[in-house]
Amino acid sequence: MKIVLIGAGNVATHLGRKLVEVGEEVVQVFSRSLPKAAALATELGARPVDDLYGVTAKADLYIIAVHDDAIGEVLKKIEDFVLDKLVVHTSGSTPAKVFETVPELNRTGVFYPLQTFTKERQLDFSEVPICIQASQDADLLVLEELASKISSNVYKITDAQRAWLHVSAVFVNNFTNHLFNIGNSCLGKKQLPFEMLMPLIRETVAKLEDGSPKDMQTGPAVRKDIKTIERHLTLLNGRGDLQEIYRVLTKHIKRAHADNWKH
């Protein structure tokens, strides 16, 4: 297929690289920043463009990989020359009804890769879940075939499922990373390196291969270690924000393991 990437950020970069790797043809890359469009386009053997009205009408698939609040704007600018083409977005949280802003579009869908992307980091795309939707059954097959070329984990999901998937991803990725940042800040107060926590972080994730997160939970909140909890809260005196986070998470863990606390 001839593919246009609308966007040159983290998602577009990784997706574009993989599409070219499996033999698809990315013909054009759009970004408001021409240098960014040119950098990715050069890597993919495509043509850069910084004006949406300059996007070619001769592609088969248009992949919109921009910030969620810019999707509607993009659709309105490209609608005249993609009316008979397949147009998808890569957002985890934007419902498919965003395409209703351009009622004339009748071939639309979602091509959502569930992963955290950073341009400079290499990753195994074959393990990345690709979540797909389409307004037409024939296009769902097209997206399924394309997704299967780049990943072994392809899921047909609904808007509602994708919304819950995205909020779950925020909990396990964005919030968890912020907790790593808090841990790093706490260590920094005593000139200790974050690297000391890396074996613990790796083992925490590795254990999930053996059981559910609930079954793998450890720590003072599970084992009813009230004295340790109180010591930690005392250490956090003067940092009411961190005390509040600690209290909320401890309370939530206690609720999840309420049976432990009944004995």
Q: What pLDDT is recorded for position 81? A: 86
Rounded CA-CA distance 6/81 in Å is 14
Task: Please provide residue 83's backbone torsions phi and psi, each rounded to the nearest 5 degrees.
Answer: -60, -30
Q: Which residues of the chain have pLDDT under 50?
A: none
For domain 163-261, the CATH superfamily is ProC-like, C-terminal domain (1.10.1040.20)
Residue 239 in tokens: 């940092």
**Domain ranges in the chain?**
2-157, 163-261
Q: pLDDT at position 104, please?
A: 87
Q: Give the separation between CA 91 and CA 97, rounded to whole angstroms.
A: 12
Q: Which two tokens stand for residue 107?
A: 């071939």
Query: What pTM does this model have?
Result: 0.91
Q: 65: closest CA among 20, 154, 109, 5?
A: 5
Q: Which two tokens stand for residue 36?
A: 């960014």
Query: 1 with 25: CB under 8 angstroms?
Result: yes
Residue 225, SS3?
coil
Please report, in angstroms and rounded to a whole number, the separation of the first and last CA atoms in the chain: 62
pLDDT score of 103 = 87
Grouping H, G, I as helix, E, B as strand and the rest as coil, residue 119 is coil
pLDDT of 263 reads 53
Q: Estimate to the nearest angstrom the gap between the alpha carbon of 78 and the chain centroid.
A: 25
**For residue 28, what are the β-bridge partners?**
4, 47
d(Cα 166, Cα 187) in Å, to the nearest integer?
31
pLDDT at 146: 98
Could you say which DSSP state residue 23 is in?
T
State the pLDDT at residue 261: 60
Planar angle of CA 14, 15, 18, nearest 5 degrees: 85
Q: Which of 28, 104, 101, 25 is nearest to 65 (CA)?
A: 28
What confidence score (pLDDT) does residue 240 get? Answer: 80
CATH number given to 2-157: 3.40.50.720
